[in-house]
Structure 1
Amino acid sequence: MDIKQLKYFYVIAEEGQITSAAKKLHIAQPPLSYQLKNLEDELGVKLVERGSRSITLTDAGVILYKRAKQILSLTKSTVDELKDFKQGISGTLSIGTVSSSGASLLDSRLSIFHDKYPFINFEIHEGNTYELLELLNKGIIEIAIVRTPFNNSGINSIFLEKEPMTAAMVKDLNWTDSKVIDIKELENKPLIFYRRFERLIFKACHDLNFNPNVFCKNDDARTSLLWANSGLGIAIVPKSAIKLIGSSDIIYKEINNEELSTQITIIWSKTGYLSSAGKNFLELFSNT
């Protein structure tokens, strides 16, 4: 017994006539009658009572009819589900993100994506850029949202707009009412920053002939902001990271330095697996 035989039997049972069922199935009546007889012989039971104009299901036929309805329904839903998966309409998408990507980056895009693909679920892996690159290379995630700078060997990238760094501090450490400062103004002040930005920060300071006073280096922009919020120093973080710790009394000042900037970058492996859902997700950023 196969799916085709079940479908033939189900339509016969629904129509109540071999002739009508044959028309609906777009096949001739004799082959359909032959398929029904073969099914009965295979199962060893009589499925229908044949009348002059119609057929009536036997008790065995009623049982098979109910099962056929369930099986055909499950078969259709399975095929539809696989088609949806292939088209990226359903499934689970594994993505890695750095904490400093910020809510401002993904909120609107995720809403658009969810509205278009409501049956896509997400599995999120958080970490720093180097950790996410490792997860990407191992195939644990399909796509990563990271920050420059990083080694882009073997990966595809979509770079978003550049954003400046900001100096974050509590009121007691504030020295000016200006919302934009030069990095030279941070000379001799206790600085807190994510160590990935160390080279950028040191170069910007050295270009102006001073060494930064490093109070704390860490591995997360959120940590930098939490320490700054405690009044321990001045955090240097990307502008979009300022929402990471929610409401606080921190004062933010944009650092006016062209070289002291970073970019959010969407990356995926050149050789690794990328699902249809992943391709659909990348479309959110392709026109950025």
Structure 2
Amino acid sequence: MDIRQLQYFAEVVKQRSFTRAAEVLHVSQPSISKVIKSLEAELGVTLLERSDRKMKLTDAGELVYEHATKMLQLMESLYASVAEMRNLQRGRVKIGMMPTVGSLLLPQVIARFKQEYPGIDLEMREYSAKRLEVQVEQGHIDVGLTVLPVNTQSFVAVPLAAEDLVAIVHREHWLSARESVSLAELKDESFILFTEEYALHDVVRQACRRSGFEPQVAYMSSLWDFVGEMVATRLGISLVPRSVARRLNNSLLKMVRISSPPIDWHYALIYRKDGYLSRAARAFVAFVQQHLAS
């Protein structure tokens, strides 16, 4: 058994197609078929059930794919480590971030980082907080910019800046005359929440429950601007980070501080506890922590 066999097999499973796997690997489809057949012969099992329309993993195939993925990740880490030893000034960091949060915190820091480390490429993608954790855990991205808390058994969390959540209301809402409000006073209000895949959804629900009530949810959305627009049309109120409320920039909205209990919103960088973190990624984490830590 060699790495090429595992690589071909894993790519076929990932792409769910011999043809697409051949395109990704830049080899012919017969070559891939031959290599996988040799792997099956060597192991003495069938790994893939093949038909004209679909391809399915056997039980043995699922087991081999699980181990092959881990072995390929180890090989990738080995090659990355050796490459870094040859040239410490080159590398690539895959960064995941929550929508809006990244644009609030990172642009200036990234500009400074690129000035100091011009040879390190940064690849950035947006995910909801819950999906971002999955992407980091599965090794698809190196570092995630998210909010606390996270599973500390799976991730190393590097705390960054923190801010509070505020209520946003229509300017003619009864709250608009107030500078602050306790959360318990909002028990009869209709809430516009972010969808369940966003960390803010759980934070708001849990805060309301601790204040003795279940929030009445009028609508849910995954878009920051749309939440602001719904509040501006008097469909309900919402709780958002202060920096987001400031960016909504809608004259129909008023921001009101939550006085009791204050709801903190802590940003953090996370990476896998049991995974390899490249020198380039470690440099990025240290640089961001230096410039954004509270």
TM range (shorter): 0.5 to 0.7
Matches of residues 206-225 of structure 1 in structure 2 within 5 Å? 206-219=209-222, 221-225=224-228
Determine which of 238, 241, 249 is the counterpart of 1:238.
Answer: 241
C-alpha displacement of 1:174: 5.2
| 1:166/1:220 CA distance change after superposition, 3 Å | same
How far does the alpha carbon of each residue in 1:225-279 deviate from its partner, in whole angstroms, 9 at most, with x for none? 343344422121122323555x322322221234622211100112223222211
Cα distance in 2, alignment partners of residues 120 and 217 from structure 1: 39
Cα distance in 1, alignment partners of residues 167 and 111 from structure 2: 30
Residue number in structure 2 paired with 1:113 = 113
Secondary structure of the residue that 1:284 maps to in structure 2? helix
| 1:174/1:122 CA distance change after superposition, 3 Å | farther
Residue number in structure 2 paired with 1:125 = 125
Q: Which range moved further: 220-229 or 124-133?
A: 220-229
Cα distance in 1, alignment partners of residues 84 and 151 from structure 2: 36
Determine which of 263, 266, 270 is the counterpart of 1:260.
Answer: 263
Cα distance in 1, alignment partners of residues 119 and 260 from structure 2: 44
How far does the alpha carbon of each residue in 1:47-96 deviate from its partner, in whole angstroms, 9 at most, with x for none? xxxxxxxxxxxxxxxxxxxxxxxxxxxxxxxxxxx669842x33432100
Cα distance in 2, alignment partners of residues 85 and 115 from structure 1: 21
| 1:114/1:258 CA distance change after superposition, 3 Å | farther
How far does the alpha carbon of each residue in 1:126-155 deviate from its partner, in whole angstroms, 9 at most, with x for none? 111111111112211100001123333221
Cα distance in 2, alignment partners of residues 132 and 168 from structure 1: 27
Question: Does 1:154 find its partner at 2:154?
Answer: yes
Q: Which range moved further: 160-169 or 129-138?
A: 160-169
Matches of residues 273-288 of structure 1 in structure 2 within 5 Å? 273-287=276-290, 288=293
How far does the alpha carbon of each residue in 1:156-206 deviate from its partner, in whole angstroms, 9 at most, with x for none? 111224321111233233533333322133232221122434444344334
Q: Which runs of 5+ in 2 are unaligned?
A: 1-82
Secondary structure of the residue that 1:141 maps to in structure 2? coil
Cα distance in 1, alignment partners of residues 217 and 133 from structure 2: 27
Cα distance in 2, alignment partners of residues 229 and 93 from structure 1: 39
> Is this contact kept in 2: 1:189–1:213, CA < 8 A?
yes
Cα distance in 2, alignment partners of residues 188 and 285 from structure 1: 41
Cα distance in 2, alignment partners of residues 261 and 206 from structure 1: 16
| 1:169/1:102 CA distance change after superposition, 3 Å | farther
| 1:175/1:154 CA distance change after superposition, 3 Å | closer
Q: Taking every aligned residue pair, what percent have the same amino acid on both sides?
A: 21
| 1:85/1:152 CA distance change after superposition, 3 Å | farther
> Is this contact kept in 1: 2:98–2:145, CA < 8 A?
yes
Question: Does 1:248 find its partner at 2:256?
Answer: no
Cα distance in 2, alignment partners of residues 106 and 155 from structure 1: 21
Residue number in structure 1 paired with 2:188 = 188
Cα distance in 2, alignment partners of residues 85 and 253 from structure 1: 54
Q: Which runs of 5+ in 1 are unaligned?
A: 1-81
> Is this contact kept in 1: 2:175–2:256, CA < 8 A?
no
Q: CA RMSD in A?
A: 2.8
1:262 counterpart letter in structure 2: W
> Is this contact kept in 2: 1:191–1:213, CA < 8 A?
yes
Q: Which range moved further: 255-264 or 203-212?
A: 203-212
| 1:230/1:84 CA distance change after superposition, 3 Å | farther
| 1:120/1:216 CA distance change after superposition, 3 Å | same
Runs (4 or more) in structure 1 with deviation over 6 Å come to none
Q: Which has the greater radius of gyration?
A: 1
TM-score between both structures, scaled by the size of structure 1: 0.61
> Is this contact kept in 1: 2:102–2:145, CA < 8 A?
no
